[in-house]
Structure 1
Amino acid sequence: EKEFEINVVRDRIRVLHLNGRPSWDSRYLREVLAHNPKVDLLSFFILRSLGDDVEASISELSLIPFPSNLLFDDYLSSFDLIIFQNFKYDPFIDKRYLSNIRKYVKNGGAFLMIGGELSFQGGGYSRTPIEEILPVSFRDNSRPFVDKPFHPVLNKEFSRHPILRLEKDLNQNAWQSLPPLQGINMGLLPDKNAHVLLQYAKEKESVIPILIAGNFGSGRTALLATDSVWNWNFRNVGSGGSGRYFQRFWNNVIDWLIAEPETRRLQLESDKERYREGEQVLIKFKLLQKNYQPAVDVTAQLTLTPLRTESGMETELKTDEQGEGFFPFLPDGEGFYTVRIQTDLEGESLTEEIMFSVLKDTAEFEKPLVNETLLKKISEITDGRYHLLNGSDDLSSYKFANPDVQVNSHSRSLSLWDNWWAY
Structure 2
Amino acid sequence: MNWPMTQLRFDPLLPWWAIAALAVLALLVAGFALWRGLRGWAWRGLAGLAAALALAGPALEIGSRTGLSDIVILIDDRSASQTLPERGAQADGAVDALTRQIAALPNTELRRVTVGDNADGTLLATEMARAIAAEPETRLAGVIAVTDGRLHDPAMLPASVPAPVHVLLTGRPQDWDRRLVIEEAPAFGLIDQEITIRLRVEDQGAVPPEAQTGSVNLRLSLDGEDEQVVAVPLGQPISLPLTLDHAGQNVVQIAFDAPAVDQPGNGELTDRNNAAAISINGVRDRLRVLLVSGEPHAGERTWRNLLKSDAAVDLIHFTILRPPDKSDGVPVNELSLIAFPTQELFMERIEDFDLIIFDRYSVRGILPPDYYANIASYVEGGGAILVSAGPEMAGVESLYLSPLGRILPARPNGQVLEEPYRPRLTEEGRRHPVTAGLPGGEGEGGDPTWGRWLRMATVTPDPGAQVAMTGVDDQPLLILDRVGEGRVALLTSDQVWLWGRGFEGGGPQLELLRRIAHWSMKEPELEEEALLADVSGDLSVRFTRRTMSDAAGPLIVTRPDGGTEEVPLTEAGPGRFAADWTAPEPGLYRLADGDLRRVLALGPAAPREFEQTVADAAPLAPLLAATGGGVAALSDGVPDLRTVAPGRIAHGRAGLGDWIAITPREAASVTGLERRPLLPGWAWLLLVGGLILTGWLREGRAGRGSGGAPRAGAGAA
Q: TM-score, normalised by structure 1?
A: 0.66
1:136 matched to 2:407 = no
Please tell me the residue identity of whatever aligns with 2:469: L
1:288 matched to 2:546 = yes
**Relative to structure 1, is the Cα distance of residues 244 and 182 closer, same or farther in structure 2, using a 3 angstrom cutoff?**
closer
**Relative to structure 1, is the Cα distance of residues 128 and 4 closer, same or farther in structure 2, using a 3 angstrom cutoff?**
same
Q: Match for residue 213 of structure 1? A: 480
How far residue 87 of structure 1 moved from its aligned partner, in angstroms, is 0.6
**Relative to structure 1, is the Cα distance of residues 136 and 234 closer, same or farther in structure 2, using a 3 angstrom cutoff?**
same
1:77 matched to 2:351 = yes
How far residue 360 of structure 1 moved from its aligned partner, in angstroms, is 5.2
Q: Match for residue 185 of structure 2? A: 4
Q: Secondary structure at the match of 1:198?
A: strand
8 Å contact 2:288–2:354 — kept in the other structure? yes
Q: Secondary structure at the match of 1:251?
A: helix
User: Following the alignment from structure 1 to structure 2, what is the Cα–Cα distance between the partners of residues 157 and 95?
Assistant: 34
**Relative to structure 1, is the Cα distance of residues 18 and 57 closer, same or farther in structure 2, using a 3 angstrom cutoff?**
same
**Relative to structure 1, is the Cα distance of residues 198 and 304 closer, same or farther in structure 2, using a 3 angstrom cutoff?**
same
User: Following the alignment from structure 1 to structure 2, what is the Cα–Cα distance between the partners of residues 60 and 314?
Assistant: 77
How far residue 131 of structure 1 moved from its aligned partner, in angstroms, is 2.3
Query: Which deviates more from structure 2 when the two are superposed, residues 316-325 or residues 6-15?
Result: 316-325
Query: Over aligned residues, Cα RMSD in angstroms?
Result: 3.4
User: Following the alignment from structure 1 to structure 2, what is the Cα–Cα distance between the partners of residues 352 and 120?
Assistant: 43
User: Following the alignment from structure 2 to structure 1, what is the Cα–Cα distance between the partners of residues 314 and 447?
Assistant: 29
Q: Match for residue 98 of structure 1? A: 372
Q: Match for residue 254 of structure 1? A: 517
**Relative to structure 1, is the Cα distance of residues 120 and 350 closer, same or farther in structure 2, using a 3 angstrom cutoff?**
farther
Of all paired residues, the percent bearing the same amino acid is 27
Number of residue pairs aligned between Structure 1 and Structure 2: 327
Larger radius of gyration: 2
**Relative to structure 1, is the Cα distance of residues 170 and 44 closer, same or farther in structure 2, using a 3 angstrom cutoff?**
closer
Structure number with greater CO (CA < 8 Å, separation at least 6) is 2
User: Following the alignment from structure 1 to structure 2, what is the Cα–Cα distance between the partners of residues 11 and 85?
Assistant: 25
How far residue 128 of structure 1 moved from its aligned partner, in angstroms, is 4.2
User: Following the alignment from structure 2 to structure 1, what is the Cα–Cα distance between the partners of residues 460 and 372?
Assistant: 21
How far residue 88 of structure 1 moved from its aligned partner, in angstroms, is 1.9
How far residue 227 of structure 1 moved from its aligned partner, in angstroms, is 0.9
1:296-311 to 2 correspondence within 5 Å? 296=552, 298-300=553-555
Q: Match for residue 324 of structure 1? A: 578
1:181 matched to 2:453 = yes
Describe the superposition over 1:251-296 as per-residue Cα deviations: whole angstroms up to 9, x where unpaired: 2222322232221221333527xxxxxx9645554223226x6x33
Q: Among residues 150, 153, 159, which one is paired with 2:430 in the alignment?
A: 159
1:41 matched to 2:315 = yes
Q: Match for residue 408 of structure 1? A: none
User: Following the alignment from structure 1 to structure 2, what is the Cα–Cα distance between the partners of residues 341 and 35?
Assistant: 37
Describe the superposition over 1:321-357 as per-residue Cα deviations: whole angstroms up to 9, x where unpaired: 132354724246xxxx5x654443xxxx444456676
Higher strand share: 2
How far residue 21 of structure 1 moved from its aligned partner, in angstroms, is 0.8
8 Å contact 1:29–1:230 — kept in the other structure? no
User: Following the alignment from structure 1 to structure 2, what is the Cα–Cα distance between the partners of residues 340 and 93?
Assistant: 48
Q: Secondary structure at the match of 2:390?
A: coil
User: Following the alignment from structure 1 to structure 2, what is the Cα–Cα distance between the partners of residues 127 and 317?
Assistant: 50
Please tell me the residue identity of whatever aligns with 1:2: E
**Relative to structure 1, is the Cα distance of residues 99 and 280 closer, same or farther in structure 2, using a 3 angstrom cutoff?**
same
8 Å contact 1:300–1:343 — kept in the other structure? yes
How far residue 85 of structure 1 moved from its aligned partner, in angstroms, is 0.9
1:193 matched to 2:460 = no
User: Following the alignment from structure 2 to structure 1, what is the Cα–Cα distance between the partners of residues 534 and 448?
Assistant: 38
8 Å contact 2:556–2:564 — kept in the other structure? yes
Q: Among residues 394, 419, 433, which one is paired with 1:148 in the alignment?
A: 419
Describe the superposition over 1:362-391 as per-residue Cα deviations: whole angstroms up to 9, x where unpaired: xxxxx9xxxxxxxxxxxxxxxxxxxxxxxx
How far residue 28 of structure 1 moved from its aligned partner, in angstroms, is 2.1
Q: Secondary structure at the match of 1:98?
A: helix
8 Å contact 2:308–2:315 — kept in the other structure? yes
**Relative to structure 1, is the Cα distance of residues 81 and 120 closer, same or farther in structure 2, using a 3 angstrom cutoff?**
farther
8 Å contact 2:416–2:457 — kept in the other structure? yes
8 Å contact 1:20–1:87 — kept in the other structure? yes
Please tell me the residue identity of whatever aligns with 1:149: P
Q: Match for residue 397 of structure 2? A: 123
User: Following the alignment from structure 1 to structure 2, what is the Cα–Cα distance between the partners of residues 353 and 76?
Assistant: 34
The gaps in structure 2 that reach 5 residues or longer are 1-181, 190-282, 572-576, 610-618, 620-717
1:269 matched to 2:533 = yes
8 Å contact 1:280–1:329 — kept in the other structure? no
8 Å contact 2:372–2:402 — kept in the other structure? yes
Query: Which deviates more from structure 2 when the two are superposed, residues 2-11 or residues 124-133?
Result: 124-133
User: Following the alignment from structure 2 to structure 1, what is the Cα–Cα distance between the partners of residues 403 and 543?
Assistant: 36
8 Å contact 1:131–1:138 — kept in the other structure? no
Describe the superposition over 1:196-250 as per-residue Cα deviations: whole angstroms up to 9, x where unpaired: 1221344xxxx421111122223221111111111112144xx6x5x66211221
Please tell me the residue identity of whatever aligns with 1:330: E
User: Following the alignment from structure 2 to structure 1, what is the Cα–Cα distance between the partners of residues 533 and 298?
Assistant: 42
User: Following the alignment from structure 1 to structure 2, what is the Cα–Cα distance between the partners of residues 130 and 229?
Assistant: 24
Q: Among residues 293, 302, 307, which one is paired with 1:28 in the alignment?
A: 302
User: Following the alignment from structure 2 to structure 1, what is the Cα–Cα distance between the partners of residues 384 and 333?
Assistant: 34
User: Following the alignment from structure 2 to structure 1, what is the Cα–Cα distance between the partners of residues 401 and 598?
Assistant: 35
**Relative to structure 1, is the Cα distance of residues 45 and 280 closer, same or farther in structure 2, using a 3 angstrom cutoff?**
same
8 Å contact 1:287–1:319 — kept in the other structure? no
**Relative to structure 1, is the Cα distance of residues 250 and 90 closer, same or farther in structure 2, using a 3 angstrom cutoff?**
same
Q: Secondary structure at the match of 1:324?
A: strand
Q: Match for residue 401 of structure 1? A: none
**Relative to structure 1, is the Cα distance of residues 7 and 118 closer, same or farther in structure 2, using a 3 angstrom cutoff?**
same
8 Å contact 2:393–2:400 — kept in the other structure? no
Q: Among residues 230, 242, 247, which one is paired with 2:497 in the alignment?
A: 230
The gaps in structure 1 that reach 5 residues or longer are 273-278, 306-311, 362-366, 368-423
8 Å contact 1:114–1:226 — kept in the other structure? yes
How far residue 114 of structure 1 moved from its aligned partner, in angstroms, is 0.7
**Relative to structure 1, is the Cα distance of residues 356 and 130 closer, same or farther in structure 2, using a 3 angstrom cutoff?**
farther
User: Following the alignment from structure 2 to structure 1, what is the Cα–Cα distance between the partners of residues 540 and 530?
Assistant: 17
Please tell me the residue identity of whatever aligns with 1:226: S
Q: Secondary structure at the match of 1:118?
A: helix
User: Following the alignment from structure 2 to structure 1, what is the Cα–Cα distance between the partners of residues 305 and 524?
Assistant: 25
